[in-house]
Each structure stands twice: as structure tokens, then as C-alpha cells.
Amino acid sequence: MSYMTQMEAARKGIFTKEMEIVLKEESISKKDLMEKMAQGKIVIPANKNHKSLSPKGIGEGLKTKINVNLGVSEDCCDQELELEKVMNSIKLGADAIMDLSTFGDTRGFRRKLADMSPAALGTVPMYDAVAKYGKDIASMTVEDLFKVVEEHCEDGMDFLTIHAGLNLTCVERLQKNNRLTKIVSRGGSILYEWMIKNNKENPFYEHYDRLLDICRKYDVTLSLGDGLRPGSLKDATDAPQIQELIILGELTKAAWEKDVQVMIEGPGHVPLNEIATNMQLEKKLCHGAPFYVLGPIVTDIAPGYDHITSAIGGAIAASNGADFLCYVTPAEHLRLPTAEDVKEGIIASKIAAHVGDIAKGIKGAIDWDHAMSEARGTLNWQKMFDLCIDREKAIEYRRSVIESSKGEACTMCGDLCPIKRCNEIA
């Protein structure tokens, strides 16, 4: 076929094999899918070089998707452990995996992921630039940075987080507005340092057309990063964050002119009462582009439990239009997550996404809940286990007390189980 990207195909009325796969998993019509892809309101991250991909749609009218972050660092460099996390994430139903590796053979690791992962793959090339060229950030050239971007596209990454909106105007806003946590985005802070030390514009902003040409060549979805996302409740929805969001909206329209698919990344730490406003601002300022949020985390005081704080925020965000949730694990702010941390984060994020889908009225979402309620209403334990979002944990809890249970009910109510009594009366 002559088309270059999924967006261009939709605009030309070409129904791709990726669209066909997405359509089978969603309740949207073929017409709506193609129209919203043509408008930029739905994306299908699908790099032409990612041969093992089972594509997913992200955007308006589709089920809320979840992403898993992982990768090695200089302090914890065990690629085999990270590959184990990848496999577990796929089994648990992650829709996408972001490799945030900053040390070692990062390219070899990316290529392994592309060979094995049916989930969409994302990276932040700026991280890899530091790993590739060393820690002297200011000495990296524009050519250095774009070489890394092209390598990630060649390696089959389906979406790239690029903090192209963190330009000199945003830097000025940041310097005029005192923040508690300044910049908490790794990619954003690296670019900020590069800009300040070199006294130059963000290279990804200044040479944005070059970036778009690379993304178009491989049909890589551009995930416009939120370099100034709030890292504390006090900094939420402040001038630097909104200034960057305005720039991201302008960059979105420029990408669409070249048929490049775009997602917008969002906060971050946000008070519960500001989440809906943040969702509305993004949809308005970024013209309905899919919104990809980290959490949001709704309180700053719960290290060790941030999978819960983010699930609360994620459910509210999804119900108000967020399309893609980045999981947060119990290890957030504390350490590289273990395999168990990853599982806890995925389950929490999947719960939030499902809650959001029910609230958004995604067709069929609540049917799962109705089936579980029907099984509970008949004390059909096997069916309940089969319907659980974490089947293994539910079975483990039930089996841990099965010998002390005197009947069909759980050990909380025992013979006073209201469902059991009502069934016997009926």
C-alpha cells in the first residue's frame, strides 16, 4: 500500500489490518473508528518494524488502555529480571510497555522487546541519549539526539515520548513561578539542563519538522511529553504546566498536517477536585487528541501505596475522558519496582481503567460486573474466581480459610450469610 501512517490510511479511506484487529476488540463502528482516526482522536501505535505487535486503539469511544513502565538503571541492571516483568505484564493484560532503560545494552534490550512483545512498545529517547553518550548532557549535539530517535524507530518502538513542548517560553514561565518540586520529569529535566547550559532552544521544538518526518517514515506515534507535569499537589494546574499544554496543542496540529499520530501526556500529582478540569483543558487545548496520564496521584503523603493513590486518580481521570493510564506501583518515589510491585501496579491500573469505562458508558463494560454479581447471588465460587480481575489472589484468599468454613459462604458471615439465607427462603 502507498500510505505511510495509520492516520493517512484513515484519511484516504483505507481500512488497515491494524484497524481490523482493533475493531474486533471494541464496540465502536468501523465508520466511527476511521473518522476519529482521521481526526486524530484515536491512534493505533503500530511501528512498521514491530512484527510481533497485536495492535490496540487508544482514544475517544474506546476502552481505556494501560501502560507499564520498566527498564534497567545503573543501580539495578538486570535485563533478565526486566524481561520477566515484561512477560508477566503481558499475561496480566498490559496494553503497552515503556522501556525506560538508562544503562547497559539498551538497544539490544529494545530489540528483544520488539521480537517478543505483542503489547505496544514505547521509549523516551532522551534517556537513552544519556546512556549512549555519557552523562555530559550539555555536550550532546542535535545530530546526537536525532540519531537516537531514529534508532528507536528502526528498532520497532511504537510510540516515543518526546518533550518537544518544553520550549524557552515554558522555561520562562517555570523561572517566574516558584514550584515546590520544580521539574520531576526525567526527560524534561535533561532537556532543561541542555537548554540552560547551551543557551539554546529545545532541539525537538526547533527542529520539530525533522522529528515528524522520522515518525512518519516508520508510522511511530508521537507521545508529546509533559516535561513540566506537577510533581506535587501545590504545583498542579499551574502556569508552567498550562503553558506547556498550550504549546503541545500547537505541536499536535502540526503533526496532524503530516499525518503523524499524536498522544498527549499529562499529570502527575493532581488534587482530586482538579482532575476533571485537567482532562477538559487537555481535550480543549489539544483538539481532542488522546490523553495519556500518569496516575494522576491524588495525595503526596503515601509512598508505598501510590498504586492506590494513582488508581483513585486514574478512575476519575478515565471517567472524565483520559484514554490511556500509565500504571504506578507501590515502589513509586522509592525504588525500581519488583515483579510483585509491577503486578500490584497493573491490577490497580486495570481496575481504574474499568471503573472509568463504566462511567464513560463504554458498551459492554458493565456486563462484566453484572456477571460477577450474578455469580455472587448464587454463591457460585468457581464462576466468581473465573471473573476476578486477579483470579489467583481471590483463590488464595478463599483457600486460606476453606477448612474453617462451614458451608458455601465466606468466613466473614458464615451461617449468617444474607445471600445464603435469601436463597434458602426463596
The reply to whether 76 sits in an annotated binding site is: no
Per the CB < 8 A criterion, the answer to whether 228 and 185 are in contact is yes
The Cα 356–Cα 325 span in angstroms is 10
Sequence-ordered list of residues with C-beta below 8 angstroms from that of 227, at least 6 positions apart, any chain: 163, 165, 166, 170, 183, 185, 187, 188, 189, 191, 192, 244
Local structure of 263: helix, strand or coil = strand
The reply to whether 286 sits in an annotated binding site is: no
Sign, CA dihedral 321-325-331-334, equals negative
The reply to whether 69 sits in an annotated binding site is: yes
The reply to whether 177 sits in an annotated binding site is: no
Residue 84, C-alpha cell as written in the block: 520477566
Per the CB < 8 A criterion, the answer to whether 19 and 28 are in contact is no
Q: Burial, 328: exposed, middle or buried (Cβ in 10 Å; 0-12, 13-18, 19+)?
A: buried
The reply to whether 186 sits in an annotated binding site is: yes
The reply to whether 397 sits in an annotated binding site is: no
The reply to whether 59 sits in an annotated binding site is: no
Residue 249, C-alpha cell as written in the block: 496543542
Among 113, 158, 111, residue whose Cα is nearest residue 260: 158
The reply to whether 410 sits in an annotated binding site is: yes
The reply to whether 216 sits in an annotated binding site is: no
Residue 30, C-alpha cell as written in the block: 468501523
The reply to whether 152 sits in an annotated binding site is: no
Sequence-ordered list of residues with C-beta below 8 angstroms from that of 211, at least 6 positions apart, any chain: 146, 149, 162, 164, 204, 222
Residue 383, C-alpha cell as written in the block: 464462576
The reply to whether 292 sits in an annotated binding site is: yes
Sequence-ordered list of residues with C-beta below 8 angstroms from that of 276, at least 6 positions apart, any chain: 316, 320
CB atoms within 10 A of CB 275: 28
The reply to whether 134 sits in an annotated binding site is: no
Per the CB < 8 A criterion, the answer to whether 241 and 178 are in contact is no
Among 268, 222, 236, 244, residue whose Cα is nearest residue 167: 244
Residues placed in the known binding site for Zn(2+): 269, 333
Residues placed in the known binding site: 69, 98, 127, 163, 185-187, 226-229, 265, 269, 292, 333, 410, 413, 417
Residues placed in the known binding site for [4Fe-4S] cluster: 410, 413, 417
Residues placed in the known binding site for substrate: 69, 98, 127, 163, 185-187, 226-229, 265, 292
